A and B are shown apart, each in its own frame.
Chain A
């Protein structure tokens, strides 16, 4: 499973767009990139997943450059309720299937 590196923490203000970048230099051909969100004392929640280029859903966008060695989670117009830890995971999930979480990025949204 490819190792990921992301900032430990980020601060933002309500209404701003937040971009969290994740590095995964050793990503394999079959690997997908998945982002999870976790609020204190709650289980992680799936946000978005992609393989290449751009993926968008009602919550976020995921940008993946052609070399796939990094990815950026974009949260548009954040609110206080977006304060959480965001995890970037990389894996093919075809062999064993376990999710390996890194330290994540603690996002703090201020009024």
Chain B
């Protein structure tokens, strides 16, 4: 157990639908990062939050959004889902904005059918 909790572990949904992925960071970590990993794209950085505020943005689609709540957990919302959104979605956390010691969760496997 890495200390970063992601739910659900698996999610199967239809095209056009909307889903929410949840991440609880390791205790004490203020930064949360979201990554998407598909077979043909590798690990792609989506977005980072630090203590509730958006800190950095990567290749995140407009159909995707995220937020970090006061208790520091984060949610990644994916809407108008397409087949190509099928991937593993990882959350990571770290103690500082940047710094060292990133811890990844075990991921959510999203399958869009």
List residues of A whose CB falls within 8 A of some B CB: 32, 34, 38, 41-46, 49, 87, 92-104
In the complex with contacts A46-B101, A46-B102, A46-B103, A101-B43 CB distance below 8 A: yes
Chain B, 46-71, contact with A by CB distance < 8 Å: what is the 0/1 string? 00101000011010000000000000
Are A49 and B100 neighbours in the complex by a CB distance under 8 Å?
yes
B74 interface residue, CB < 8 Å from A?
no
A31 to nearest B CB, angstroms? 12
Residue of A with least CB distance to B48: A98
Residues of A within 8 A of B97 (CB): 96-97
* B25 at interface by CB-CB < 8 Å: no
Cβ distance A38 to chain B, nearest Cβ, rounded Å: 8
- Chain A's closest residue to B98 (CB) is A97
Interface SS majority for chain A:
loop
What residue of chain A has the Cβ atom nearest to residue B34's Cβ? A98
B105 — nearest CB in chain A belongs to which residue?
A43
In the complex, what residues of A have CB within 8 A of residue B94's CB?
Answer: 97
CB-CB under 8 A from A87, the residues of chain B are: 43
A103 in contact with B99 (CB, 8 Å): no
Our count of residue pairs bridging A and B at CB distance below 8 angstroms stands at 67
Complex formed: what's the CA distance from A32 to B102 in Å? 14
Quick check: is B109 within 8 A (CB to CB) of the other chain? Answer: yes
The answer for the CA separation of A103 and B48 in the assembled complex, in Å, is: 21
Complex CA gap A102/B44 in Å reads 9
List 14 additional A-B contacts (Cβ < 8 Å) besides A42-B106, A96-B98, A97-B99.
Answer: A43-B4, A43-B90, A43-B104, A43-B107, A45-B2, A46-B101, A49-B100, A94-B98, A94-B99, A96-B97, A97-B48, A97-B96, A99-B92, A101-B43
Report yes or no: A99 in contact with B33, Cβ–Cβ below 8 A: yes
B56 / chain A contacts, CB cutoff of 8 Å: 96-98
B98 and A92 contact, CB distance less than 8 A? yes
Knowing A41-B109, A97-B31, A98-B56, say if A103 contacts B42 (CB, 8 Å): yes
